[in-house]
Amino acid sequence: MKFKTLESSEYKNLYFHRTEAWDWMSSEMIRVVDSKSPRVITMDPWPQKIFLEALGQLTVEDYVHTVAKEYPKGNTPEDLDVIILEMLEDLVYGEKIVSFSDVPVTLDASILKPMTEEGTINVKGIWNGTYQYAPRDEFKDDKMIDVNFTITIDNVKKNTFTGTVKDDLSTGGTPGTGIIKGKFDNDRMYFTKKMPISSTIDETGKRNNDTNKKHPTLIYEGAFSRSKQIITGTWKFKTKALYFKGFIPYLFSRGTGTFVMSKSQNS
């Protein structure tokens, strides 16, 4: 297949290579660390593909035709060369994380490989973390509350586990020692959190505990970092609460939030 824009491009015979260090954020997304300014860059799938394949060994013309072969016969986009050229220009002159060269380039190992090696999952042990939540809308002042917690996973069987969790009361946590039960794979962890004491926060920000009730079950789901030492994700209540407006029952969400936790180096 002939690409008219490519044939007349000034970049046609140039090699292209990445120039900045990078790492995996998840199994599908990378982050690029800009050495020229204090920023971390993430990209949509297409420019990310080009960045990862910017190894300095193909000319732009070679690359366009290589990508074209990835499509089933007859389905190659007619403007494939235009798309790739525009994204290359942005990566080179806009983001400045890729560069052109007249000759092939051998990448330094610090740029060729991701910054962290892929770790091995070992969920057993102590995890220290923080979860965030916001008061209900009518009490919200745009201030998120950060609560520290410690999880101890002491029983692992295949890809399932059980353990305990304790919130830090000084940071606004729920009292008591809770039970967690969950599962994991190579990318994600999922678990439920059951606290023994019901705990709510009123409009003044005061926490009210009811020792006669258990806290509603919480569901946590997060993704492992490449090192497998950090998990980042979201939490939510397993069930929604019921209230009455006139004679009609309504369900409303008790809220959701985010969390991050990391494996203790001593476990």
Tell me, yes or no, whether 59 lies in a domain.
yes
- Regarding whether 248 and 162 lie in a shared domain, the answer is yes
- Regarding whether 108 and 52 lie in a shared domain, the answer is yes
The pLDDT, as a whole number, for residue 202 is 60
- Regarding whether 135 and 66 lie in a shared domain, the answer is no
The pLDDT, as a whole number, for residue 214 is 84
More confident call, 63 vs 116: 63
- Regarding whether 151 and 74 lie in a shared domain, the answer is no
List Cα–Cα distances, 212 to 92, 197, 209, 239, 242, in angstroms: 63, 7, 9, 19, 19
- Regarding whether 174 and 151 lie in a shared domain, the answer is yes
The pLDDT, as a whole number, for residue 159 is 96
The pLDDT, as a whole number, for residue 244 is 46
Residues 6+ apart with CB under 8 A from 180: 151, 153, 161, 162, 163, 164, 165, 191, 192, 193, 194
Read off the CATH number of the domain in which 199 is found: 2.40.128.120
pLDDT, the chain, mean: 88
Residue 143 binned pLDDT confidence (cut-offs 50, 70, 90): low
Neighbours of 109 (CB within 10 A): 6
- Regarding whether 26 and 140 lie in a shared domain, the answer is no
Q: Among residues 147, 179, 132, 151, which one has the least CA distance to residue 263?
A: 151
* Count of the separate structural domains present in the chain: 2
List Cα–Cα distances, 209 to 39, 148, 194, 195, 200, in angstroms: 43, 18, 15, 12, 7
The pLDDT, as a whole number, for residue 201 is 64
- Regarding whether 178 and 92 lie in a shared domain, the answer is no
- Regarding whether 129 and 71 lie in a shared domain, the answer is no
Tell me, yes or no, whether 169 lies in a domain.
yes
Question: Which residues constitute the domain of residue 138?
Answer: 125-263
Examine the fold and report which residue of 112, 139, 161 is the final residue of a domain before the chain moves on: 112
Using one digit for the tens of pLDDT, what is the confidence trace for 176-216?
999 999 999 988 999 999 999 987 766 555 667 788 888 88
The pLDDT, as a whole number, for residue 180 is 97
Does this model's pTM top 0.85? Answer: no
Examine the fold and report which residue of 85, 112, 139 is the final residue of a domain before the chain moves on: 112
Q: Positive or negative, the Cα torsion across 32, 35, 40, 42?
A: negative
Tell me, yes or no, whether 217 lies in a domain.
yes
Using one digit for the tens of pLDDT, what is the confidence trace for 247-265?
455 444 456 889 999 999 8
Using one digit for the tens of pLDDT, what is the confidence trace for 4-48?
999 999 999 999 999 999 998 877 889 999 998 888 999 999 999
- Regarding whether 231 and 208 lie in a shared domain, the answer is yes
Residue 137 binned pLDDT confidence (cut-offs 50, 70, 90): low
- How close are the terminal C-alpha atoms of the chain, in Å? 57
- Helix count (H) and strand count (E) of the chain? 5, 18
Examine the fold and report which residue of 112, 147, 164 is the final residue of a domain before the chain moves on: 112
Longest dimension (CA), the chain: 77
Read off the CATH number of the domain in which 15 is found: 3.90.930
State how far the Cα of 221 lies from the Cα of 193, in Å rounded to an integer. 11
